[in-house]
């Protein structure tokens, strides 16, 4: 097995005494900022005026325009949406970067696809958590962490690797395991994972299962419990003990069904489609299409997003989750955010 680094492997604390600017205060931004602050580091937030500007201030941070935060920082972590990064980088980050500072990303997209070209006198690396920002924060507060990958693109100080590892430790990633990679590997595996398995593949599997059951006349509530609610409970077992532990906990009937019917649904044809998805990521086609979609203000993204929100599984899900007080809070928070987004 390759070396997976844990807290005990991080000897030097290169972040101590450095000013860290977190640019963006969304999913990853709030988590990195709060975890680093709780780990004892000096954090400032760089943002435009808006929703998360106020949130960061309420959370007790000094919040500055991006150019001001960058100009005072030794470490600049770019946690803006990938599609917004090139413009903000060009206008507010690059002109204000200190020589010898570190420019850091949580995903390699813009460096790998050549949308951001940093100057030669700064370190450039990534620390990419392998999990959603809200879970990066939640697990940190529970004394746990989310694993992360790190990669070095440019090392002018000779200390980029140790700085990256100190950063990974500061956000709690070394509690779970940190792995060295390249910008290419991080970018391509991350895009593949979210498209084919974690987000695209899973949403499509759940929705299609729901449609097959409801179209056959079964109650939508029963279908929701079966294919969406229980998904988390099954995946939790995989998270804790892999496929074998999940199969140990389910009935033998379910396990036999898993063996004989799973490959009828996800089969060689699906594998071929997954290979096509990967090929589009590797060739840059996916990135090019996404950049163009943003240049014309996301007509397809918005249309699909609106249609997906209207899917019957979303309506029955809202009603059923409202009956479960233990998942009430995240639901309310999410709805507030969705309302806010709809207003903007």
Ligand X SMILES: CC[C@](O)(C(C)=O)C(=O)O
- Among residues 64, 67, 90, 77, which one has the least CA distance to residue 129? 77
DSSP-derived pairing of the beta strands 63-64 and 42-46: parallel
Q: Which of the stretches 9-17, 155-163, 187-195, 266-274 binds Mg ion when contact is defined by CB under 5 A? A: 187-195
27 labelled binding-site residue: yes
Cα–Cα distance, 81 to 23 (Å, whole number):
10
Per rule CB under 5 A, is residue 186 in the interface with Mg ion? Answer: no
- How many angstroms from the chain centroid is the CA of residue 123? 23
List residues binding ligand NDP (CB under 6 A): 24-29, 47-48, 50-52, 66, 79-82, 84, 88, 106-107, 128-129, 132-133
At its nearest, how many Å lie between ligand X and the CB of residue 199? 5
At its nearest, how many Å lie between ligand X and the CB of residue 327? 19
Per rule CB under 5 A, is residue 190 in the interface with Mg ion? Answer: yes
52 labelled binding-site residue: yes
Exposure of 294 in the CB half-sphere (CA atoms within 13 A): 12
25 labelled binding-site residue: yes
48 labelled binding-site residue: yes
SS3 content of the chain, % helix, strand, coil (to 5): 60, 10, 25
At its nearest, how many Å lie between ligand NDP and the CB of residue 103? 13
Cα–Cα distance, 5 to 165 (Å, whole number):
9
Residue 107 appears among annotated catalytic residues: yes
Helix (H, G, I), strand (E, B) or coil at 113: coil
If the CB atoms of residues 61 and 192 are measured against ligand X, the closer one turns out to be 192
- Among residues 98, 104, 54, 50, which one has the least CA distance to residue 76? 104
- Tokens matching residue 163: 């700085």
Cα–Cα distance, 259 to 241 (Å, whole number):
18
List residues binding ligand X (CB under 6 A): 131-132, 190, 194, 198-199
At its nearest, how many Å lie between ligand X and the CB of residue 132? 4
> Which listed option, Mg ion, ligand NDP, ligand X, none, makes contact with residue 108 (CB within 5 to 8 Å by class)?
none
Q: Tokens 């201030």 map to which residue?
A: 57
List all residues 6 or more positions away from 47 whose beta carbon is below 8 Å from its beta carbon.
23, 24, 25, 53, 56, 63, 64, 65, 66, 69
**Residue 295 exposed, middle or buried by CB count within 10 Å (0-12, 13-18, 19+):** exposed
If the CB atoms of residues 41 and 89 are measured against ligand NDP, the closer one turns out to be 89
Cα–Cα distance, 43 to 220 (Å, whole number):
47
Residue nearest to ligand NDP (CB): 26
Catalytic hit among 30, 32, 107, 153? 107
If the CB atoms of residues 27 and 154 are measured against ligand NDP, the closer one turns out to be 27
- How many angstroms from the chain centroid is the CA of residue 211? 28
272 labelled binding-site residue: no
- Tokens matching residue 16: 């101590």
If the CB atoms of residues 123 and 190 are measured against Mg ion, the closer one turns out to be 190
If the CB atoms of residues 69 and 111 are measured against ligand X, the closer one turns out to be 111
At its nearest, how many Å lie between Mg ion and the CB of residue 107? 5
If the CB atoms of residues 135 and 206 are measured against ligand NDP, the closer one turns out to be 135
Under the rule (CB under 5 A), what is the footprint of Mg ion? Answer: 190, 194
> Which residues contribute to the annotated binding site?
25-28, 48, 52, 133, 190, 194, 226, 230, 251
Name the residues annotated as catalytic. Answer: 107
Residue ranges of the annotated binding site for substrate are: 251
Q: Annotated binding site for NADP(+): which residue ranges?
A: 25-28, 48, 52, 133
């Amino acid at each position: 097995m390759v070396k997976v680094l844990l807290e005990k492997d991080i000897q030097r604390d290169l972040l101590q005494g450095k000013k860290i600017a977190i640019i963006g205060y969304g999913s990853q931004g709030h988590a990195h900022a709060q975890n680093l602050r709780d780990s004892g580091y000096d954090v400032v937030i760089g943002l435009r005026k808006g929703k998360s500007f106020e949130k960061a201030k309420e959370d007790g941070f000094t919040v500055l325009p991006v150019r001001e935060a960058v100009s005072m920082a030794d470490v600049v972590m770019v946690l803006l949406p990938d599609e917004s990064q090139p413009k903000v980088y060009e206008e507010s980050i690059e002109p204000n970067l200190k020589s010898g500072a570190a420019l850091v990303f949580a995903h390699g997209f813009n460096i790998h696809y050549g949308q951001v070209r940093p100057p030669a006198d700064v370190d450039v690396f990534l620390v990419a958590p392998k999990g959603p920002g809200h879970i990066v924060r939640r697990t940190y507060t529970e004394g746990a962490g989310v694993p992360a990958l790190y990669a070095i693109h440019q090392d002018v100080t000779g200390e980029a690797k140790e700085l990256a590892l100190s950063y990974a430790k500061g956000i709690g990633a070394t509690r779970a395991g940190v792995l060295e990679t390249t910008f290419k590997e991080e970018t391509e595996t991350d895009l593949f994972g979210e498209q084919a398995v974690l987000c695209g593949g899973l949403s499509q599997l759940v929705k299609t299962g729901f449609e097959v059951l409801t179209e056959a006349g079964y109650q939508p509530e029963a279908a929701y419990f079966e294919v969406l609610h229980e998904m988390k409970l099954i995946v939790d077992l995989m998270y804790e003990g892999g496929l074998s532990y999940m199969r140990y906990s389910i009935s033998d009937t379910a396990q036999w069904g898993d063996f004989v019917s799973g490959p009828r649904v996800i089969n060689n044809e699906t594998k071929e489609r997954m290979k096509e998805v990967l090929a589009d990521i590797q060739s840059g086609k996916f990135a090019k299409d996404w950049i163009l979609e943003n240049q014309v203000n996301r007509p397809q993204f918005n249309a699909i997003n609106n249609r997906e929100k209207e899917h019957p599984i979303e309506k029955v899900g809202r009603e059923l989750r409202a009956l479960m007080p233990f998942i009430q809070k995240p639901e309310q928070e999410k709805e507030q955010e969705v309302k806010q987004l709809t207003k903007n």
